[in-house]
Amino acid sequence: MKTIVLVRHAKSDWNADYGEDHDRPLAPRGIRAAKRLGKLLAATGGVPDLILSSTAVRARTTIELARDAGEWDVQIRLHRELYGAGPGTILNLAGGLPDAVDTVMFAGHEPGWSQAVSAFIGGGDIRMPTACMARIEFAAEQWDRVRVGHGLLTALMPPKALD
What pLDDT is recorded for position 109? 98
The strand pairing partners of 137, in sequence order, are: 3, 152
What pLDDT is recorded for position 80? 97
Q: Domains in the chain, please, with CATH?
A: 2-162 (3.40.50.1240)
What pLDDT is recorded for position 160? 79
Q: How many residues does the chain have?
A: 163
What pLDDT is recorded for position 151? 98
Widest CA span of the chain, in angstroms?
A: 45
What pLDDT is recorded for position 8? 97
Question: For residues 74 and 50, is the Cβ–Cβ distance under 8 A?
Answer: yes
116 Cβ neighbours under 8 A, 6+ residues apart: 6, 86, 87, 90
What is residue 124's three-state secondary structure?
coil
What is residue 108's three-state secondary structure?
strand
What pLDDT is recorded for position 163? 66
- Torsion angle of C-alpha atoms 65, 63, 161, 157, degrees rounded to 10: -170
Low-confidence ranges of the chain (pLDDT < 70): 162-163
